[in-house]
Amino acid sequence: MNIILVTGATARARTFTLDWRHWTAGSIALCSLFVVFTLAFNFATLKWAAAVKHPWLQAIVLADQRQEAQRMQERVQGHLNAMAIRLGELQAQVARLDGLGERLAKSAGLKPQDLPGGLSAGTVPGRGGAPSSLPARDLTLPEFTSLLEGVARQLDLRADQFGVLEALLLQESAKRKFLPSLPPVAEVWHSSDFGRRIDPFTGQSAFHEGIDFAADVGTPIVAAASGKVIFAGEHPQYGKMVEIDHGNGLVTRYAHASQLNVREGDLVIRGQRLATVGSTGRSTGPHLHFEVRLNGVPQNPARFLQAAS
């Protein structure tokens, strides 16, 4: 577009050519002017609408306030949804810790209420204290979020600690199953203990390598611990006998039985029936001769049996 300007004094003509750059600059200037006018108008209406009782201005202010309130509500709702999700995760963590606590209590032979605090599930621990002299205030959203994240980290740490403790307790429980701590016969008395005694056949002082349990013929004999049967048969001195290998060089021996219920190579568990009491072999009457050997060396069985009590 060409624009021609003619001055009256000199009758000189000036020509201006408007290209796309001039149009672009003009459009930007016009838009800027419109934005400035809109902001100024909005500021004026918001600042002075409360003083001017004009219905039209008050309607504009009310509509703007409603839009701002809606935007704020949406932001708050978004934060609440995020916190609700995090709270659900924390509740799941607490449920997991409750389950771990119950399993640990059972592994340790305790009741859930015997755990630290003695509180049953769902009970809120008591808290209190005198009010502070400093003025109280509401928590801000960032402060609340920070506290929530701190609790989450503590719960994660406790869950890891409980997991390690549970693994250690299970390992210890598995070890106990392979220690001969269960009495091989129930509710009987010792007719002869481990150590030096008078031999009932020779009348001489001799070392007794086990414990004799006096019991009636046919009384069940059970495994004092889990293991593998390495001998089940007749022995010249011990009569009908069972030997069980519990690993790590630990072996138990059950002698003078009347009947055997296991065979060599069988895997037995703690408390499983092995044989019945008898008086076979070198014996003066019905009883069970029970031995514990570590790497072939006789051990006092009473030490293992007392560990279970």
What is the structure's pLDDT at 258? 95
Q: Which of 89-103, 200-214, 262-276 has the lowest mean pLDDT?
A: 89-103
Q: How confident is the model at residue 126 (pLDDT cuts 50, 70, 90)?
A: low
Q: Which of 10-14, 225-229, 252-256 has the lowest mean pLDDT?
A: 10-14
| CB atoms near residue 123 (< 10 Å) | 10
Residues whose CB falls within 8 Å of the CB of residue 290, separated by 6 or more in sequence, listed in order: 184, 210, 211, 212, 213, 224, 252, 253, 254, 255, 301
Which residue blocks in the chain are alpha helix, DSSP H? 20-48, 55-107, 141-177, 301-308
Alpha carbons within 13 A on the beta-carbon side of 24: 3
Q: How confident is the model at residue 118 (pLDDT cuts 50, 70, 90)?
A: very low
Residue type, 94: V
* Percent over 90 (pLDDT), the chain: 30
User: CA–CA separation, 76 vs 78, rounded Å?
Assistant: 5
How big is the CA angle at 81 (ends 75 and 87), to the nearest 5 degrees?
140
pTM for the model: 0.50
Residue pair 177/250 in contact (Cβ under 8 Å)? The answer is no
Q: Which of 70-79, 160-169, 201-210 has the lowest mean pLDDT?
A: 160-169
More confident residue, 1 or 17: 17
More confident residue, 86 or 246: 246
Residue-range domain boundaries for the chain:
189-308
220 DSSP β-pair partners: 276
**Backbone φ, ψ for residue 241 (5° rounding):** -140, 150
What is the structure's pLDDT at 112? 56
More confident residue, 290 or 19: 290
Q: For the structural domain made of 189-308, what CATH number should be given?
A: 2.70.70.10
